[in-house]
Amino acid sequence: MTSILVTGVSTGIGHACANLFAERDWKVIGTVRDTSRRPDRLVSGVSLEELDLAIPGSATDLAQRLLDGAGCPDVLLNNAGALQFGALENVSDADLESIYRVNLFGQLELIRAFLPAMRERRAGVIANVSSLGGTITFPFFGAYNSTKWALEGASEGLWHELKPFGIRVKAIEPGYVDTAIWGKALHRDGAATGPEQAQADDSPYAPFMQAMRQFESGITNRTTPEACAEEIMKAIEDRSDRLRYPVAAYARPIVSARRAFGSQAMMRFFHRRWMGPNSG
């Protein structure tokens, strides 16, 4: 039975992936920060392990528990992540360090912990859930998007380094998926929430942030986590050496348009859409 470790299965894409793989008769291990509270509607075939990527060493501890017990999973799906919305000028040092710890350093820690076992058996798949925001940067998502750009770069480096050992690396780039992570940074009605509350309404960025919130709240054609999970499964099962997989709403056309028209032209086009015609 093929085994997979999915990080962050409490909600959203990770939850949907864990259920899908379990229903397709994979051996699924999912991670949550607190194993005493099993996520709602998580199928019984998913076993749980504790992981908090914000804590250095947590990923190494998890990997060692699995290597000592069930063994190295055939597939590592790095899905867990955190979202940050706000002007880079106003993101605190602590918040910036935290999002890099969760979205990049913890992911790399987990990958590195499993690599010796994968190399020894000369097989395995490492699938990193990046983002459409790992190929294009949205205003006021600079902190979050920069972690995804970094994960994209690390994934490409790993693609080269691990190819001689038969280990496939996949960078999954979801577009707009209807998950709870958006609600942690933005309300659908355009109101501020989360860390952004610390940014005063009289901030010089306030009107542009409001325009971006309204743009995001107006996107109704979002892919369900379940449909996104189906696309992720296809990417993982793809035995080719392809690295990047844009999935879910808007990802493929935006990536294609950026390639066709160039990054600067796309930046100018989206700048007016996102921040308004009077934004410079």
Q: What residue ranges do the domains of the chain occupy?
A: 3-275
Give dist(CA 275, CA 273) in Å, integer.
Answer: 6
Q: Which residue has the higher pLDDT, 226 or 180?
A: 226
Show the tokens assigned to 182. Answer: 């958006």
Q: What is the pLDDT of residue 191?
A: 46
Catalytic residue among 10, 58, 98, 130: 130
Q: What's the burial of 54, exposed, middle or buried (CB within 10 Å: 0-12/13-18/19+)?
A: middle
Strand 167-174 with 124-129, pairing:
parallel
pLDDT of residue 181: 62
Is 176 labeled as catalytic in the residue annotation? no
β-partners of residue 48 are 30
Reported as a pLDDT band with limits 50, 70 and 90, residue 1 is confident
> Which fold does the domain 3-275 belong to in CATH?
Rossmann fold (3.40.50)
pLDDT of residue 256: 95
Residue 183's pLDDT is: 58
> pLDDT tens across 108-137, in order?
999 999 999 999 999 999 999 999 999 999
Take residue 206 and report the two structure tokens written for it: 């306030």
Residue 139 has pLDDT above 70, yes or no: yes
Burial environment of residue 92 by CB neighbours within 10 A (0 to 12, 13 to 18, 19 or more): exposed
Query: Per the residue annotation, which of 146, 148, 155, 245 is the catalytic one?
Result: 148
Say what the pLDDT of residue 253 is. 95
144 is catalytic: yes
Complete DSSP assignment for 186-238 = B-TTS-B-GGGGGS-TTSTTHHHHHHHHHHHHT----B-HHHHHHHHHHHHH-
Active-site residue among 10, 98, 144, 155?
A: 144
What is the band of 218 on the pLDDT scale with cuts at 50, 70, 90?
confident
Residue 180 has a pLDDT of: 67
Active site residue 148: yes
Q: Tell me the per-residue pLDDT of 182-215, one tens digit each, with 9 for 90 and over.
A: 555 554 444 444 444 444 457 899 999 999 998 8
Average pLDDT over residues 48-59: 98
Question: What's the average model confidence in pLDDT over 60-81?
Answer: 97
